């Protein structure tokens, strides 16, 4: 299996996220640098009756950050929900947009590894492949937490540092995205279905809980989905340490300064118990010799890793329950982690292992 006679291959690692999508690309084994490789997973369609010249283009839809910029004149559509394709046509449009960002002149074949939530069913994986038919010429769908472990792996330290703990050999990945939280036990082999858990309590669920809390406490305040998400992203935290989140909003056209800190904390903490339950379940999958190594390398990835105090709270609760060796950390470049892992796989997949998206 080779590229077409006239086109070379770009190998792509893609983190297709409910809120944000990230790609990493290589050509002939060398990483290709882009001015922008992180894009909001968002499509905006002009509202009916728009006056010509209001929007920057006459295109049938506008994508990502540009859609946010012009959101007052657009019907915003999110392609994915809970980590999976929610609207096929919107997802197809967004996939086409991603191709233009990766290969603007359509000069290459694209062979891509795409991340999917843990334990994705064959039907859901098939839908992802269908979305990328005509966008990727070859592709594979791989569990996102496993890709996160691959992205974390430092090959240079692996060769030179005898004390380095290889995340693809001993780790428990907690990947908190917008649509799903995925837990994956990584022990040196491709994880089985029993080594993975996924549940739809993640960033979007926090947004919904925050919106409900604001509506209950301040029924006269109406905030858009975009505003709620920004409010959470700028102020999220868990734990007993109080954090102020005073924000100016407009009620009946008049400015008011509202303290949202406690509501944000309550919304974010809906994640704590489900994560702890899944971590405990994964510990039971480890043998007695390996469980300590796993316990000492629990990694919180994804956008949810940026919730203030979350990793520390999970670690403390595990230790309070008797898991004295528990150590929970967050990676430095959480945004590109899955895409980096996907690109590593894309660079090492044999030509005959790729699938043709249909």
Please report the pLDDT score of residue 117 as a whole number: 87
* Residue 82 banded pLDDT, cuts 50, 70, 90: confident
pLDDT tens, residue by residue, 117-126: 887 889 999 9
Judge whether residue 1 has pLDDT over 50: no
Judge whether residue 60 has pLDDT over 70: yes
pLDDT tens, residue by residue, 139-158: 999 988 889 889 988 888 88
- Greater model confidence, 119 or 64: 64
Q: Please give the share of the chain, as a percent, with pLDDT higher than 90.
A: 63
Domain spanning 8-148+336-353, CATH architecture = 2-Layer Sandwich (3.30)
In CATH terms, are 156-200+270-329 and 203-269 the same topology?
Answer: yes
* Residue 5 banded pLDDT, cuts 50, 70, 90: low
Q: Domain coordinates of the chain in residue numbers? A: 8-148+336-353, 156-200+270-329, 203-269
Q: What is the mean pLDDT of residues 339-351?
A: 94
What is the fold of 156-200+270-329?
A: Nucleotidyltransferase; domain 5 (3.30.420)
Mean of the per-residue pLDDT values for the chain?
90
pLDDT tens, residue by residue, 268-296: 999 999 999 999 999 998 887 778 889 99
d(CA 85, CA 91): 7
* Residue 6 banded pLDDT, cuts 50, 70, 90: low
Report the range of poorest mean pLDDT among 138-142, 241-245, 348-352. Answer: 241-245
Quick one: which H or E segment has residue 173? strand 171-176
pLDDT tens, residue by residue, 185-194: 988 888 888 8
Judge whether residue 323 has pLDDT over 60: yes
Cα–Cα nearest to 102, from 148, 142, 77, 136: 136
Locate all alpha helices (DSSP H) within the chain, ordered by sequence.
Answer: 64-69, 88-102, 122-131, 144-152, 155-160, 203-217, 225-235, 261-268, 272-283, 291-295, 310-320, 337-348
d(CA 323, CA 256): 46
Q: What is the DSSP code string of 6-68?
A: S-EEEEEEEE--SSEEEEEEEETTEEEP-S--EEE--EEEEPTTPPTTSSS--SS-EEHHHHH
What is the fold of 203-269?
A: Nucleotidyltransferase; domain 5 (3.30.420)
pTM over 0.85: no
SS3 of residue 157 by DSSP:
helix
């Amino acid at each position: 299996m080779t590229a077409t006679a006239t086109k070379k291959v770009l190998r792509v690692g893609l983190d297709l996220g409910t809120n944000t999508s990230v790609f990493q690309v290589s050509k002939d084994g060398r990483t290709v640098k882009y001015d922008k490789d992180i894009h909001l997973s968002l499509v905006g369609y002009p509202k009916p009756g728009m006056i010509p010249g209001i929007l920057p283009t006459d295109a049938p839809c506008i994508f990502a950050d540009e859609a946010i910029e012009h959101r007052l004149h657009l019907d915003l559509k999110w392609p994915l929900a809970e980590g999976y394709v929610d609207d096929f046509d919107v997802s197809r449009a967004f996939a086409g947009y991603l191709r233009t960002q990766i290969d603007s002149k359509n000069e290459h074949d694209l062979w891509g590894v795409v991340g999917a939530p843990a334990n994705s069913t064959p039907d859901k994986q098939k839908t992802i492949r269908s979305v990328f038919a005509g966008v990727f010429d070859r592709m594979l769908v791989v569990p996102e937490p496993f890709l996160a472990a691959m992205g974390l792996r430092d090959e240079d330290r692996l060769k030179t540092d005898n004390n380095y703990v290889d995340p693809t050999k001993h780790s428990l990945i907690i990947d908190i995205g917008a649509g799903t939280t995925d837990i994956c036990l990584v022990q040196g082999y491709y994880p089985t279905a029993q080594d993975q858990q996924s549940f739809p309590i993640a960033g979007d669920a926090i947004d919904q809980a925050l919106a409900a809390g604001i509506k209950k406490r301040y029924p006269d305040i109406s905030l858009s989905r975009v505003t709620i998400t920004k409010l959470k992203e700028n102020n999220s935290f868990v734990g007993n340490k109080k954090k102020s989140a005073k924000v100016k909003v407009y009620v009946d056209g008049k400015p008011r300064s509202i303290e949202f800190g406690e509501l944000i904390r309550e919304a974010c903490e809906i994640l704590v118990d489900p994560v702890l339950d899944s971590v405990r379940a994964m510990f039971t999958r480890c043998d007695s010799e390996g469980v300590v190594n796993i316990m000492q390398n629990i990694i919180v990835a994804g956008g949810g890793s940026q919730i203030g105090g979350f990793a520390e709270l999970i670690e403390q609760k595990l230790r309070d329950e008797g898991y004295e060796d528990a150590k929970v950390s967050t990676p430095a470049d959480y945004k590109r982690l899955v895409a980096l892992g996907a690109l590593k796989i894309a660079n090492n997949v044999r030509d005959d292992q790729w699938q043709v998206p249909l």
